[in-house]
Chains A and B, each alone.
Chain A
Amino acid sequence: MSEKLLQIKNLYVNADKKEILKGINLTINKGEIHVIMGPNGSGKTTTANAILNNPAYSKKKGSIIFDSQDITNLSTDEIARKGVFMSFQMPEEIPGISVTNFLKYAKNKITSKPVKAAEFKIDLMKYMRELKMNPKNMARSLNVGFSGGEKKKNEILQMLVLNPKLAILDETDSGLDVDAIKTVSKGIEMFKNDQNAVLIITHNTKILHSLKVDYVHILVDGKIVDTSTSELAKTIEEEGYSKYKKEVDTSEED
């Protein structure tokens, strides 16, 4: 019997007084990989932000259950400490804080006990090798002056170090070259086990090739309009969203 990790129930979210999410329902079990696809501006990033309760987005209705606890109104840091991680579509820059120090500090906060320096270093070296990252960059300020691709790899490195129960990857693959996509995909494989889950937000299927995707959801205009197996991602790549958009459009005209 699969165990529920995340349950989003009938979620309505506003941003800047505008209704963005209009009744999202989504259940992710431990051990699963889910994918959300959808046109630009359909609400994918908003969904990720809502799970982490970004105060810039206000929840109007619905609830979010994570690991059997209601996290709908918890603060972002509490949710993070319960085991939710998000790889940002646009990672922030933190001048004056080195990648290593940032990771160490965040790890401390997430596990709420001091990390063992030696162990931490060994793990970090391992992950960096896996992600083909330049160790010299570890002493640089987090994301400052990093290329788009390097920033995305930094996010995946954080995921591996922080080892969350649920990793939400918001367009981590966009801006990555062909080889880097494969590398990141390997990083996800390395992370994945039967106790955690991954939610991948993406516009293309390359990152999915080597992963065992359980479900693909199509998000259009703040609603999940279709859910199916990984085949659906390929169909979308070939045919686009026109089919769903029409449905939405006509329903709105009614």
Chain B
Amino acid sequence: MKKTKIEDINRNIYDIKNKDEYEFKIKKGLSKDIVEEISAKKNEPSWMRDFRLKALDVYNSLKLPTWGPDLSCLNMDEIATYVKPKTKLSNSWDDVDEDIKNTFDKLGIPEAEKKSLAGVGAQYDSEVVYHSMKEELKKQGVIYTDMETAVNEYPELVKKYFMKCVPVYDHKFVALHGAVWSGGSFVYVPKNVKVDIPLQSYFRLNSKEAGQFEHTLIIVEEGASLHFIEGCSAPKYNKVNLHAGCVELYVKDNAYLRYSTIENWSKNMLNLNTKKAIVGKNAKMEWVSGSFGSKISMLYPMSILDGEGAQTEYTGISFASTGQNLDNGFKVVHNAKNTSSLVNAKSISKNGGKCTYRSLVRINENAKNSKSSVSCESLMLDDISISDTIPTNDIRTDDAQFSHEAKIGKISDKTIFYLMSRGMTEEDAKAMIVRGFAYEVSKELPVEYAVEMNNLINLELEGAIG
């Protein structure tokens, strides 16, 4: 984005709070009427409306998870699940409402698009307000559009893939998502098409006491490749906001997908996001994830290695400060021969923040000769912060190689003294150590996002993020 130096931080950009203006905000709560009204507002085909209603039934039948962070602060009666922004979907920034455009300007989106992206989607509250992609990609048959357009224009593809990778009965918040989903991106990369520069979607939740339920559906056909970047942020309010997005990724045989995320939620946000990939023969799925902000986060991206020789890598970092409980991790299921997974998870906790790494590695009976290597490392910046590791390892075949390594550490006074003797203040010194700790993750991000992540780390260290 437009920031180039690590020192160059503008602490206000994430917290720009536009007036809570919208064209339409649905009344708070969750009921059949509300779901039907969302569907009607969207002029959806009846199959999608029926799908939503079925998902609502599933939602009502499922219980809250009995493990993990306490979600009792969430009262669905206080959440508006659909907020339509006061602007129409456009492929020109000039047509986007001034306030909304300014927000994205400050977040650096149009700038990044010009410099280094093949396409951009921008969602404000519940609807995508901007979507555009380079002409060359269109010619190659690449589809990149908002989910609503996809439902209407590519119903066969959507029907085939929508909530098949992540079925509504996976857990309660996936069912909720199925009932009230809105916005998100649809990407289709045809066979053997290589998209060299990344596509990016940015999700901004401005409205208070609202939920964001964007749906991202990506299909990378055989031999094709794509790098997709997802960014998220929201300004701070005193009331609870909810994010229950869903990401479904289909990586076909010999295909390659990298999915990079920087989530930077305000600290009143419950981030209950679900992400899953199905990976085909000799295909590769890479996750890069930076999880910042939010009050509670339960985020466990998952790769299902269904094809022989399928590979996945996960590189992620979470940063929790006061009042934050980040329960993040990675899940992988090895379902075929010669599959491999490599996990490098890091967490930083500060000022009483809590980070938990919760993971699953399952190597099924048929996954002969598979490999999984998990490393998780946490850094606590003081004595009141908490870090925990809860791995589940379910290895069902004898000839698999599996390793799990967990390290928990603190910043030593000696190291701080060393850095201070080189002219750095105590804060500089801590920031450098943390930046170094996060480097394995930031080096996986495109340079603009690595800078962005370093800025977020600095903001967290200063306690400047709301």
A residues neighboring B (CB under 8 Å): 49, 52, 54-56, 75-77, 80-81, 85-86, 88, 91-92, 94-97, 102, 105-106, 109-110, 141, 158, 162
Min CB distance A94 to B, Å, is: 5
In whole angstroms, what is the CA distance A96 to B443 when docked? 10
Min CB distance B60 to A, Å, is: 47
Min CB distance B353 to A, Å, is: 20
> Judging by beta carbons under 8 Å apart, are B422 and A55 in contact?
no
CB-based nearest A residue for B425: A77
CB-based nearest B residue for A83: B423
> Judging by beta carbons under 8 Å apart, are A95 and B415 in contact?
no
> Judging by beta carbons under 8 Å apart, are A76 and B417 in contact?
yes
Min CB distance B331 to A, Å, is: 26
Q: Is B53 an interface residue when CB atoms closer than 8 A count as contact?
A: no
Contact of A110 among B418, B422, B435 (CB under 8 A): B422
**A interface, over-half SS:** mixed
List of A residues within 8 angstroms of B414 by Cβ: 92
Min CB distance B269 to A, Å, is: 28
- 19 further A-B pairs in the complex, CB-CB below 8 A; given A94-B432, A97-B439, A105-B424: A54-B417, A76-B420, A77-B420, A77-B423, A77-B428, A80-B420, A80-B421, A81-B423, A86-B421, A88-B418, A92-B415, A92-B418, A92-B419, A96-B436, A96-B440, A97-B435, A106-B422, A109-B424, A162-B422
In whole angstroms, what is the CA distance A55 to B428 when docked? 17
In whole angstroms, what is the CA distance A4 to B359 when docked? 62
Contact of B428 among A52, A91, A109 (CB under 8 A): A109
> Judging by beta carbons under 8 Å apart, are A162 and B423 in contact?
yes
- The 9 tightest CB contacts between A and B, nearest first, are A96-B436, A96-B439, A109-B423, A76-B420, A92-B418, A106-B422, A110-B423, A97-B436, A80-B423
In whole angstroms, what is the CA distance A140 to B440 when docked? 13
- Report if A85-B420 is in contact (Cβ < 8 Å); known contacts: A96-B438, A97-B432: no
Interface positions of B from 394 to 426, Cβ below 8 Å from A: 412-415, 417-426
Q: Is B161 an interface residue when CB atoms closer than 8 A count as contact?
A: no
In whole angstroms, what is the CA distance A109 to B417 when docked? 15
Q: Is B437 an interface residue when CB atoms closer than 8 A count as contact?
A: yes
Contact of B415 among A54, A85, A94 (CB under 8 A): A94
Min CB distance A112 to B, Å, is: 8
> Judging by beta carbons under 8 Å apart, are A105 and B432 in contact?
yes
List of B residues within 8 angstroms of A105 by Cβ: 424, 432
**B interface, over-half SS:** helix
In whole angstroms, what is the CA distance A76 to B420 when docked? 6
In whole angstroms, what is the CA distance A88 to B419 when docked? 11
Of the A-B pairs whose beta carbons lie under 8 Å apart in the complex, a sample of 10, sorted by A's number, is A76-B417, A76-B420, A76-B421, A77-B428, A80-B420, A92-B414, A92-B418, A92-B419, A106-B423, A109-B423
List of B residues within 8 angstroms of A141 by Cβ: 436
> Judging by beta carbons under 8 Å apart, are A77 and B426 in contact?
yes
List of A residues within 8 angstroms of B421 by Cβ: 52, 76-77, 80, 85-86, 88
Q: Is B137 an interface residue when CB atoms closer than 8 A count as contact?
A: no
Min CB distance A209 to B, Å, is: 28
Contact of B424 among A56, A77, A92, A95 (CB under 8 A): A77
In whole angstroms, what is the CA distance A109 to B420 when docked? 10
List of A residues within 8 angstroms of B436 by Cβ: 94-97, 141
- Report if A106-B424 is in contact (Cβ < 8 Å); known contacts: A94-B432, A97-B435: yes
- Report if A56-B420 is in contact (Cβ < 8 Å); known contacts: A96-B436, A97-B435: no
Of B413, B425, B438, which is in contact with the most chain A CB atoms at under 10 Å from its CB? B425
In whole angstroms, what is the CA distance A76 to B435 when docked? 21
In whole angstroms, what is the CA distance A13 to B103 when docked? 56
CB-based nearest B residue for A80: B423
Min CB distance B177 to A, Å, is: 36
Q: Is B433 an interface residue when CB atoms closer than 8 A count as contact?
A: yes
> Judging by beta carbons under 8 Å apart, are A91 and B423 in contact?
no
List of A residues within 8 angstroms of B428 by Cβ: 77, 109
CB-based nearest A residue for B418: A92
> Judging by beta carbons under 8 Å apart, are B435 and A55 in contact?
no
List of B residues within 8 angstroms of A80 by Cβ: 420-423
Min CB distance A217 to B, Å, is: 22
List of B residues within 8 angstroms of A102 by Cβ: 422, 432
Min CB distance A47 to B, Å, is: 14
In whole angstroms, what is the CA distance A96 to B418 when docked? 16
CB-based nearest A residue for B443: A96
> Judging by beta carbons under 8 Å apart, are A96 and B437 in contact?
yes
CB-based nearest A residue for B377: A95
Interface positions of B from 276 to 300, Cβ below 8 Å from A: none
In whole angstroms, what is the CA distance A119 to B302 when docked? 48
> Judging by beta carbons under 8 Å apart, are A158 and B422 in contact?
yes
Of B414, B417, B435, which is in contact with the most chain A CB atoms at under 10 Å from its CB? B417
Min CB distance A167 to B, Å, is: 12
In whole angstroms, what is the CA distance A77 to B420 when docked? 5
Contact of A96 among B423, B429, B435 (CB under 8 A): B435
In whole angstroms, what is the CA distance A70 to B9 when docked? 35
Interface positions of B from 362 to 419, Cβ below 8 Å from A: 412-415, 417-419
- Report if A55-B432 is in contact (Cβ < 8 Å); known contacts: A77-B425, A109-B422: no
List of B residues within 8 angstroms of A110 by Cβ: 422-423
List of B residues within 8 angstroms of A97 by Cβ: 432, 435-436, 439
Of A56, A77, A97, which is in contact with the most chain B CB atoms at under 10 Å from its CB? A77
Min CB distance A120 to B, Å, is: 15
Min CB distance B447 to A, Å, is: 14
In whole angstroms, what is the CA distance A52 to B423 when docked? 11
- Report if A56-B439 is in contact (Cβ < 8 Å); known contacts: A80-B423, A106-B424: no
CB-based nearest A residue for B434: A96
